[in-house]
Amino acid sequence: MSVIAIDGPSGVGKSSTSQEVARRLGYGYLDTGAMYRAMAWLCLNRGVSDPGDVVELIRGADLEITTDPDDFRVEVDGMDITDDIREARVSENVQTVSAVQDARDELIERQREIIGDTTPGIVVEGRDITTVVAPDAPVRILMTAEESVRIARRSTELHGTADAAAVDATRKLVVDRDAKDSTTTDFLTAADGVHTLDTTDVGFEQAVAAVLGLVEDTT
* 78 assigned to a ligand binding site: no
The nearer residue to ligand C5P, 107 or 208, going by C-beta atoms, is 107
Q: How far is it, in rounded angstroms, from Cα 104 to Cα 36?
A: 8
Letters for 76-115 (x = contact with ligand C5P by CB under 6 A, - = none) are: ------------------xx--x-----------------
Residue 10 is assigned to a ligand binding site: yes
- The verdict on 127 binding ligand C5P (CB under 6 A) reads yes
Helices 147-159 and 164-181: crossing angle, nearest 10°? 120
Interaction residues for ligand C5P, span 27-46 (CB under 6 A): 32-33, 36-37
Instruction: Please state, in angstroms and as integers, the Cα–Cα distance from residue 70 to each residue in 114, 115, 137, following that order.
Output: 17, 17, 23
Residue 11 labelled as part of a binding site: yes
Question: Nearest 5°: phi and psi at 79?
Answer: -100, 130
Eight-class DSSP state of 1: -
Q: Which of 54, 118, 126, 149 binds ligand C5P (CB under 6 A)?
A: 126
| Residue (20 or 128) nearer to ligand C5P, CB | 128
CA neighbor of 43 nearest in space, from 109, 93, 81: 93
| Total residues interacting with ligand C5P, rule: CB under 6 A | 15
Radius of gyration of the chain (CA): 17
What does the alpha-carbon distance between residue 55 and residue 131 come to, in Å, rounded to a whole number?
Answer: 22
Name the residues that contact ligand C5P, by CB under 6 A: 10, 32-33, 36-37, 94-95, 98, 126-129, 177, 181, 185
